[in-house]
Every structure is written in C-alpha cells, then in structure tokens.
Chains A and B, each alone.
Chain A
Amino acid sequence: MREGYEVIYQKPKTLTDNRMHYCPGCIHGIMHKIFMEVIEEMDLQDKTVGVCPVGCSVFAYDYMDVDMQEAAHGRAAAVATAVKRMLPDRIVFSYQGDGDLAAIGTGETIHACNRGENFLFIFINNGIYGMTGGQMAPTTLSEQKTTTSPFGRDKKSTGSPLKMTEMVSQLEGVAFAARVSGNTPANVRKAKRTFRKAIEIQQLGLGTQFVEVVSNCPSGWKCSPVESMNWIVEQSIPYYPLGVFKEPGK
C-alpha cells in the first residue's frame, strides 16, 4: 500500500480464495461477488444458507464462503423451502440459471412462490444453457441461434421466451420481484442494492423475494465479454425490462 492512500474496494471476505471456473467476463462472477458483499456488510455470514443449482454455477459452493447445499437439477426451490422451514431464522437463498429455474424447476419455483416461502431466488437468466455447451433455454430470445436452434428459435414450435419475473410477481406469496442486470457498473451497483433490499424483506418475513439477473454468455453467444454486455443492452433488456415489478406496500 502506498503512503497516503487507503483501500476503498477489495474482494469481500465472504468469497473463498478458490479460482472461479467461469468463462472470462461471465456475470456469475460479478453476482457472486456483490451478493457476498451484501452478506458481509449485513454481517450475515454465520446465518446464511444457500442452495446452488446444476448449471455453470454448480460449484457456487466453492466460491461463496457460506454453508451451501447442492440441489438436483431444478429442485433448488424445494430444497430451499425445507431449509427455511427447518431453520426459519437463517437467511436462505437459491441461486439458479434459466434451465434450472425456468425449465426443469418451474413447478417447484411456482409453488414455492405461491406458498410465499421466505427465501430469496437469485435467477441468473442468460437465455442459454451454458454448462452443457450452448443449447436453447426457455428464456432464449426468438430467432436466437443456439446449438439446438441452429437456424434461430422458432416461436411456432418452441414458444416464446418465458418472462419469469412478470409471472411470479402475480402470485400473492411473492413480496418482492425485480429484474436487474450486471452489464454496466451502474447496473451492477443497482443489482447489489436490490439484493440488499431483498434480504431486508426476508428479515421482515414478508414473503418470497425473486430477483432475476439479465446475464451474459460470451461462450454460448460466441462473442467477447465486452460485446456480450452490448448484446444485453441491444437484445436482452428490450425483451426483459429491468425494474421492480413488485414490492411490499405497493
């Protein structure tokens, strides 16, 4: 450290020292970091239990320094339901991708939201199945090319991209539903404030918190990390608008 300077930003202590396996520029790393910053700042490390998915972030438990459970594909909502029911005074979150939450896990997701289970869904939506090599997801945009929609996603046979935040915000059990992104510093900072608000709502026991993160996949989208952030601006956000869709008292 140089004389006359002080640290104003560093890696949170709630992240482990393990090297992240995510592709260069992947928003997973950014979201892990800012969520763990929230946990650190709110002094909740010893009270937090997370549930991680099957997908690129299957190893989230190697990076977040909190107690975690690896769930079967799609089942994080059911697993987190039981964790919160058995340990109601802990902060519980699930961390899932678009296959995990919006394909195989949709049933568990809807029902946990409908029951108003008091945990936070972190839904990382990059419109593609990254871990398995770039196949189409329920949230893949119309006409988007993936390995299972090589000529572009055809609405007629595969339907339209699912808007999960809009869907769950209609359920009475959901207290907080918001969509954020990690494509710019401003959006990352906003996402962090959104996570913090969600945790505060959990502490008040007001109902399910659901935060969708419009995310990227440079590998699957076949572009550079910087280009993928522009893709989010040009393609993703017009279809998946950012904002708070539901909050307590409104």
Chain B
Amino acid sequence: MGEIRFMKGNEALAEAAIRAGMQGYFGYPITPQSEVIEYLAAEQPNHDYTLLQAESEVASINMLYGGAAAGARVMTTTSSPGYSLMQEGVSYIACAELPCVVANIARGGPGLGTIQPGQGDYFQAVKGGGHGDYRQIVLAPNSVQEMVDHTVLAFELADKYRTPVLILSDGAIGQMMEKVELPEPIPYKPVKPWATTGKTKDRERNYITSLYIQSADMEKKNIHLQKKFKEIEENEVRFEEYMTDDAELIITAYGVTSRTSKKIVDLAREAGIKMGLLRPVTVWPFPSGRISELAESGRVKAFFSIEMSAGQMVEDVRLAVNGRKPTFFYGRTGGVIPTPEEVLAFVSKRVAEL
C-alpha cells in the first residue's frame, strides 16, 4: 500500500509528476490549473527538478521541446485557451518525435470562455489542434486517483513511443478533492542516444528537427509516424466498462461526465432500463474496436454520448458504430454539468421513439 493522501486533482497530478521522475516543468498560470505550478514551486526545495514559470504558454511548449530534445523528462500543464497557444509546439514535438507530457485541465469555451469545466477540447486534442498529420496519446482521467495514475503512465508512454502525451482532464477533476494512493518515486535514468547532449568523438552530431524540405523525405517521415501511430492504436487502447454485459443501451462518456454517467446507469437500472457505460480511458487511441463489437451485438439497441460540449466524441462513437445502431448525443456547454435526471429523461424519450 502506497502513501495515502487526501488531495486536490491538480495537486495530485503535480505530486505524481515529481514521483515519476519529472526533471523540468515549464508552465504558465491559468485557471483552473494554477495549483499545479504552485504546488511544484512549494515542493521544489525538497527535490531537484527544474521549475520555470514561463512568460506564456507559447514559451512553455517550446521550453518543453528544448528540454525533451536535450533528453530530459519534461511536463507542462495548462487550460483550454493556453492549450490553443501550444498547438504549434505540439505539432513540432510530434514530428520531431520528442517525449513530452502536457495536461489540459479543460474549461468551457470557445474563446476566453469560462473557468468552469468543459469538454469542448476533444477535437483539438484527438484530431490534432496543430497542423499536419500527427496523433498524440490522450489520456482522460475521471478521478483524482487517475490524475496520479495517468501522469505516471503519460511519462512512460511518452518515452516508450517518443511522442507527446496529453492528459485531457477538466476543471472539475482538477479542483475536486479525493483520497489517493501515491506511487513510490520512480528511479528514472534516461538513456537517449538521440538527444542533443553534446557531440562526443564517438558519434555523429545529433540534430532534432521537423523540417523535411524534400517531398520524398517528408513522405518518408510521415509514413514512419503513421506506422508508429498504428502501433500505438494496436497496443495502448484503454477503456472501462460498467454494467455492459447485458446492456441494451450504451452510454459513452469520459472525464467528469463519466462519473455522472455511472449514476445515470444506476438510476436507469432501478427503473428497469438495461443501461451500461463504456468509458474511454484513452480517447486516442479510441476504443473503436470495443464499440464496434457492442454495435454488432444483437442485444445493444442504441448508443448515447454524453459530453460537456456541443458534441465532439459522439462523432468518433458514430464512426465506430458505423451506422449499425442509432447514436444519440446529449450535452451541455458553458461549464454546466448535466444532471443524471435530465440525461435519463432524454434517453427515455429517445428510446420511446426507437
């Protein structure tokens, strides 16, 4: 049993990063996640990571690029408007194949938006807010414990695949307090022969770039990246199921709405409706395979995607369902968290029409 603490989501993420062997944090304050940098600043005398409050999110993501390319384990955190500023950096990091961890504690948008939680950054996270053909691993925690577990996992996956990993959280998970079990500190000794640490006599110079000016070279790079993404899709899909064994209606939800959705399933079952929840833990790679299986089964009648957005993940659900069963969407924007009752009312109405 590891150390048990009662912690706020953002702070748990910060503590987990320290234990995962993070060597550099470069970030900028933004609500609702400034606790991360504040926690790391307060803890710094007890550890030897580098902490730098950058002048902007643009600077932060580029510091991540530099630190990662120099061979270090690095992280930044932000919220939606700040994450928009980082998109160029993420595209560069993905192409240069640098291991980085970024967390987006998402809030309502678009624009400056609200400081309340939101799930309107799904497209940006999963379809690529930056330019070009790239993907990144996106983990979607729905509890303070997962803020811890996913942070540790994010660093591992980032190094395993030399890829940016995004922790797509939200203001609710970031701000709530729950009991967590913290892992033992991981002894991290990086071996990165590709990093820019200084050209010693035994090797050629290393250079990190995303520039491939000849089409043939750019295509080769893209083919290589696509192969990597395929490998990730085959090996790193993660999801959780709740009461899906005999379910006729499947709810898909991630993050804070997945917690509400568990309650919705319970209420539905009380009312005699056979409902189940499929919760993607990785929203990229998306659990399309499992959704497809459920869509294929004779017993499942419909899918419902519940999101705090105008409907983003529902498109991936529809793609996976591929027209076999009706797929509905229910969502609230602006940081309004849908109540189980209103969702159940919506579901009941749709089911009656089927």
What is A's interface to B at a CB cutoff of 8 Å?
A: 16, 45-49, 51, 58-59, 61, 65-72, 75, 78-83, 85-87, 90, 107-108, 111
Contact = CB atoms under 8 A, between A and B. Distances in A.
27 contacts: A16-B205, A46-B200, A47-B198, A66-B199, A67-B206, A68-B206, A70-B207, A70-B208, A71-B65, A72-B62, A72-B88, A72-B89, A75-B65, A78-B60, A79-B62, A82-B64, A82-B67, A85-B52, A85-B67, A86-B23, A87-B70, A87-B71, A87-B198, A90-B197, A107-B55, A108-B55, A108-B58
Contacts, number: 128
Nearest to A88: B50
A68 B62 CA distance: 15
A65 B199 contact: yes
A70 B92 CA distance: 10
Interface in B172-189: none
Contacts of B62: 71-72, 75, 78-79, 82, 108
Nearest to B50: A85
Given A69-B207, A70-B208, A85-B50, A46 B198 contact: yes
B205 A67 contact: yes
A49 B197 contact: yes
Interface in B43-67: 50, 52, 54-56, 58-60, 62-67
B55 A87 contact: no
A82 B70 contact: yes
Contacts of B96: 70
Nearest to B69: A69
Contact of A90 (B72, B89, B198, B209): B198
Contacts of B52: 81-82, 85
B65 A107 contact: no
Contact of B56 (A16, A49, A79, A107): A107
A86 B50 contact: yes
Contact of A86 (B71, B207, B210): B71
B198 A86 contact: no
Contacts of B26: 82
Given A46-B198, A49-B197, A68-B205, A83 B66 contact: yes
Nearest to A48: B198
Contacts of A48: 198-199
A87 B207 CA distance: 16
B88 A69 contact: no
Given A66-B198, A79-B63, A111-B55, 18 more contacts: A45-B199, A46-B200, A61-B205, A68-B207, A69-B208, A70-B96, A72-B88, A75-B65, A78-B54, A79-B65, A82-B62, A82-B64, A86-B24, A86-B71, A86-B74, A107-B56, A108-B55, A111-B54
